Structures are given as structure tokens and as C-alpha cells.
Chains A and B, each alone.
Chain A
Amino acid sequence: MKSGLFIATAALYGIACVLYLALLTRRSASMHRLPGIVFVSALGAHLAFLTLEGPPPGDIPLADISQILSIASLGIGIAFLLASYRFDVTVLGAFVVPVALMLFLASGLGSSYAPVSPRIESAVLTLHIGANILGLIAFALAFGAGVAYVLQERLLRRRQLSGLFQRLPSLDVLDTIGLRAVLTGFPLLTFGMITGTFWLLRADGSEFYVSQLLGLLAWGIFAAVLVLRVAAGWQGRKAALGTIMGFVCTLLVLAGYVVRAAGGSA
């Protein structure tokens, strides 16, 4: 029953993905509400799945990579809906929803609990992971806007002004979304980094060496994007590319955990 719900949720996400991509590539005014409807039902199924599949009582919340990914993908979905309502950027679903789908599918690969003995500060761990999930959600939106920005800028430079160019939002809107999302995500990521380091020292786990480095790299990239934006007025394509790189790094951190969960830990 539960795995059936997982498959149903994944299928709905998949259909929503295809519909959002169709929305991007062809003019079909008659079905412009359809992707949203399918996507909302995917989120509904996801929520039901999370409720039924929730961790057994007594477990430390958010300590399981599978659950983290699942919640992150749900959060990205909800954040995207809010953003598309606020900025009228439904077409960005073509970039954001695949990320949500990917994280959701990855959450099905396997569980890996953080190596934590019950006595150790589990609250710090929960804070660390919670902040990172929220940061990830913000960066996912920034990533979607960034990809759209790079694409749109390229079309503008190459004078390919029909079709896709018409459907993508303006550069200004995309840049604004990218900036605000990174501004929101960065403090969360910073907080996540601090609590993570603190917890890691306490737990005395040095095995996350690569993930730590990648996390630091992602943090550095986002910091650079923000500093250059504010200090040097850096905006547009370079900022978008930086945001994309930063997000890919954070995804790699997660991928490290997933690989461990899928079998590496044994």
C-alpha cells in the first residue's frame, strides 16, 4: 500500500514534469492550468505518503536521508507554487519540478541514519538538517530561475525571439527571483554549516570528509555570488551561473549521502 503510494506520487510528479515541459515548448493556452492541477495532486499524494510513511515515534526527526530528501522535494514543490503565484512564473516549473521529482525518487533509494548515539545533542542535528532543507528549497528556486535566465539571455543574444523566448519571463524577474532566493537560502545554509560542524565535532565523525568539502564549496560559491552582487553590482548571467553551480554542489553533497544509503555504508 505504501509503496503503491510512492509509485503514484512519483508518477504524478513525472506527469507534472512532462506537462510543465510541454508548457514551455509549445503554445497551448487551452491547457495552461493542467500542469498546476497535476502538480498539486502530486503534492497531495506526497503529503499522504509522508504521513503514512512517517518515522516510527521515538526516532530523532529528520535524521534519515530518505526522509530528508522527501521533505525537501515536498518543500520545493510548495515553495515553487507560492513563487509562481507571486511572480506569475508558472513556466519555471519546467526547471524546478524535475528537481523535486529527482529528490523524491532519490528518497526511495534507501535509508541511512546519521551516525548518532541517542545521548548526543540530537536537537543540534535536527536544527542543522532543518536549516539545510530550507536552504536547499530556496536554492532550488534560485536554480530554476538561474537556468531560465541563462537560457533566456542566450536566446536574446542569438536573436531567437519566437516560441520559447516569448514564454519565458523577463530577465529582470528571473534575476530578482534568483537574488531573493539566494538571499533567503544563504543565512539558512550558513546556520546549517555552523550547526553541522558543531555536531560533527561532538559526534566525532570524520568520515564525511568529501561531503564536508563540497558543502563548504557550495557555501563559498553562494557567498561569492552574494558578495559580488552587492559589492560589484554583479548581476545577470554570471550571477545565474554561480547560483547554478552552487546548487549543483549542494546536490552533490546530498548525492554523497544517498550513495552511502544505497549501499556504501555497508
Chain B
Amino acid sequence: MRDFIVVGLSHRTAPVEIRERLAVAPEQLENEVRNIATGAIFDEALLISTCNRVELYATSENPTEAIQTARSSLASRLPDAASKDVLYAERGVAVVRHAFRVASSLDSLVVGEPQILGQVKEAFDAARGAGTAGSLIGRCFSQAFSTAKRVRNETGIAEGTVSVSSIACELAKKIFGHLDGRRTLLLGAGEMGEGAARTLRQTGTQLHIVNRSEERARALAESCGGRVVPFERLTDELAEADVVIASTASPQFILTPELMRAVVRSRRHRPLFIIDIAVPRDVDPRVGTMDNVFVYDVDDLQQVAEENLAVRAREAAHAERIVEEEVESFLTWRRSLELAPTIVALRKQFGEVADEELRRALGRFQNLSQSDRVALEAMSRSMVNKLLHQPMMQLKASAGELDGAQMIDAVRRLFDLTNDDGAETEASVEADAEAIVTQLSAATASGSTSESK
């Protein structure tokens, strides 16, 4: 029976040196997944590649062998020194659960980070472009997307950011609305400040850098696209900036209340957001009490990060429940799918026997009128339907149960349905099957009403 497999590595099992060896550039994804799928024993394949994980999802009639193939194909690209233990493999329902958790950002390095969903979508688009995403992968991943959406909407897992730089950025947005065209002043070109400045730069702010050593400032300005300003112009720059990131190594306060009072006056009370990530601090705490000046230091930002992480951890439990619900609903779909071809085959077998007998009987009665023939045909059809009604109801009822597969298996063996119509294409069988399932459920509904009468 066709089943899911996944083989891959992630931040949980492999260090970045190994992950980057396997990573596939987004524009290469489609080719790569096509290469993997051709010739191999996979029916379907999908390749996710981010900086934190590389995973190959596939379906195959022979999952055990498929896992081996996938494992060796990924392992061949690992550095020789790397242990093969970095690769994990799952099959069956565990794969579906894993896909849902990955898309919902529950398996991410930073739980709740939003990028992963887009990356999984890219992977899915690539697989579809390569023609390697069929009905099972298709269903699994579209449900993974809706699971991720539910998790996002129904839990607080994505609420609040958790890195100091992005928290600073979020706060700036909450003060200034949009950051396009605003100006960031980086005071001191240390590493910490650089991170925050880069994040702000990405949101479209201009970057001015003031540093005692202009050399260092120049290097940073070049790599981030900023402008170096001499230290003497500090007061003017403060008057024009919107966000100030202070990260100098100065032992004393640089932004004193006296200096800032003059600055606030000359900037006509426009709001100013100061992020003090220097230790010892660059900004006198009294500056934080001034009107329209907002000062956050490292501890504040760190505290926000920790609070947000705690919220996320709490919400993750809720998210896991949602994932379980969705996995359950996927399994129900899967089981009903297996049921459907069985029903098709069963109906077909009964129908063929009945048609054959009817043909022979009609051959013997030469002098029947047209209406008699019609009546006989109707009788034959109705006998088949009545005989099949109860078994179908039972099959349908068991579809949602855990042992549904056993019942289907029994029916298939009883009526020898095993090797029926293997030639039919998967898609059309599934389409037919789904149509029949819906017909059946309609029949079930009418059946129950007639029983109650």
C-alpha cells in the first residue's frame, strides 16, 4: 500500500556546517526534486530546503525501500566526516504529523517564526512545477497549510518576536507606523548594534553611523549601505534621527539629559526611539522620562524576548492539539480513500454478475414485451443494490474507525478484489471513489430515515 516517508536533517540533528552542504537554492528546488523523483521508486516527491532543515518527503508503494533510497541519496551529499546519524527517517502517519508541525513552525529553531510556511509553500510549488506532487502529497501539504493557518489564528504562537533586533524593529514600527524613509542613527559600530541596524535597514530606514573610529564605521557603512558621519555632528544627527541605536564602549553616559533636552527642542518634540544596547549603558535613565523620547535598554529587550518565548511555549501545547486534530482528519480522509476503490470494485463485480445473468435470461425469453424487459432490468439492478446496501453501510461506517482497514481488507479477500483494475489511473479512481463516497453518504442518510419510520 502506498505510504508516506520522510528523510532529512534539521537543526535538531545536524550543525550548520552539515546543513549548508545539503541546502538547495530556491530556484534549484524544482530541478532537484525532479532529479530525485525520476528513476527512483518514489511515486511522489517534495523537497524542503531552508537554512534549518533539508527534508525529502515522498510516497511509495514500498516505503522501506524508499527510505533506504532517500537516505543514501541524501547521505551521498554529506561531507565524508559526517556521521550518517544526522539523517532521520519516518514513515506513515508520523510523516503527516511532521509535515504539519514543520509548516506550523512547531519544529522551528525559533518556535512560531513566520518564514517557514512560505518556504514550505515554495517547496510545494516546486514539486508541483516538477510534476512530482500527486494526490497524496498534494492533500497532505494543502492540509499542512490550513493547519499552519489555524495554528496562527487560534493560538498566540506567532505573537511577539523573540530576537532582540526584531523586537527593536517591532517597537520602532509601533511608534513610527511605517519605517520607510525614517532615519536610524547607529552610535558606535559594535557587533550588537550592527545586528539591530541591519534589521532596521531591511525595513527601509536610512542608516547613519557615528563612531569614534571612522575606519570601522566606514567598513560597516559599506556592508549595510549606510553613511558615516563625524562624531562632532552628533547633536545635529540626534535632532534628525528617528531611531538611535547606542552601542559604544564608553564608560560614561553619552546621551545625557542636558544634551537630550536641547535635542528634543531642536527636533520639535518629534518622537525619538533610543535603543541602548551598550554595556555599560550609553543613555542616562533620566532621558527615558522625557516626553516623546522612548528608551529601551538591553535588559528591557531581553525581558520582552523571554516573555514572548514563554508565551510561545505555552501556546505551542495548544498548537500541538490542533496538529493532532488535523492529522486525525487527514487519516479519516485517507481511510475513506482506501474504502472507495473497494466499493467501486465490489459494485462492479456484483453488477457484472447480474448483467451477465440478465443477458442470458433475456436470451431465453424471446417473446417478452419491451416493458417486461425494462421491469426485469430494474429488478436485477434493485437486487444488486439491496444485496449490497448493508455491506456498504457497514464498510462506510467503519471508515472512520481505527480498524477500518481490517474490514476493507476482509471484504477484498472475501470477494477476491485484490488484483482488480490495476491499470486504471490513480486520479480517475480517486475521483470516482470520492463521487461514490458522497453518493453513499446520501444513501446512508435516506436509509436512516426509512429505518426510523
Q: Which residues of A contact B (CB under 8 A)?
A: 27, 29-30, 152, 156-157, 159, 161-162, 165-166, 169-173, 176, 232-238
Partner of A156, one of B171, B177, B270, B307: B171
**Residue contact A162 to B269, C-beta cutoff 8 Å:** no
Which residues does chain A contribute within 8 Å of B288, judged by CB atoms? 157
When A156-B175, A236-B291, A237-B292 are in contact, do A171 and B159 touch as well, CB less than 8 Å?
no
State whether B292 touches A235 (Cβ < 8 A).
Answer: yes
Q: Which of B174, B291, B296 contacts A165 (CB 8 A)?
A: B174
Interface check B311, CB cutoff 8 A: yes
Structural contact, B303 and A159, CB atoms closer than 8 A = yes
User: Residues of B contacting A236 with CB < 8 Å?
Assistant: 269, 271, 291-292
Contact A156 B174 (CB under 8 A): yes
Tell me the bound Cα distance from A29 to B151 in angstroms. Answer: 11
B75 within 8 A of A: no
Q: Which of B143-190 contact A (CB under 8 A)?
A: 153-154, 156, 159-160, 171, 173-177
Indicate if the CB atoms of B304 and A170 lie closer than 8 Å.
Answer: no
Instruction: Please tell me which one of the listed residues A29, A159, A170, A234 contacts residue B177 in the complex, with CB atoms under 8 A apart.
Output: A170
Q: Which residues of B contact A156 (CB under 8 A)?
A: 171, 174-175, 294
In the bound complex, what is the Cα–Cα distance between A156 and B295 (angstroms)? 10
Q: Which residue of B lies closest to A234 (CB)?
A: B269
Expressed in whole angstroms, the Cα–Cα distance for A161 and B294 within the complex equals: 13
Q: How many angstroms between the C-alpha atoms of A172 and B269 in the bound complex? A: 13
Closest to B308 in A: A162
**A27 x B174 contact (CB < 8 A):** no
11 intermolecular pairs with C-beta atoms under 8 Å apart = A29-B154, A30-B153, A157-B294, A161-B171, A162-B308, A166-B159, A170-B174, A232-B268, A235-B270, A236-B269, A236-B291
Tell me which of B171, B271, B292, B307 contacts A162 (CB under 8 A): B307
- Measured between beta carbons, the chain A residues less than 8 angstroms from B175 are 156, 170-172
Q: Is the CB of B156 within 8 A of A27?
A: yes
Q: What is the 8 Å Cβ interface bit string for chain B, positions 287-306, against chain A (1 contact, 0 not)? A: 01001101010001001100
CB pair B153 A29 closer than 8 Å: yes
Q: Report the separation of the CA atoms of residues A176 and B308 in the bound assembly, to the nearest whole angstrom.
A: 30
A220 CB → nearest B CB, Å: 21
Docked Cα-Cα span, A236 to B154, in Å, equals 34
Of residues 114 through 152 on chain B, the ones whose CB sits less than 8 Å from some CB of chain A are none
Chain B positions within 8 Å of A29 at CB level? 153-154
Chain B residues, CB < 8 A from A234: 269
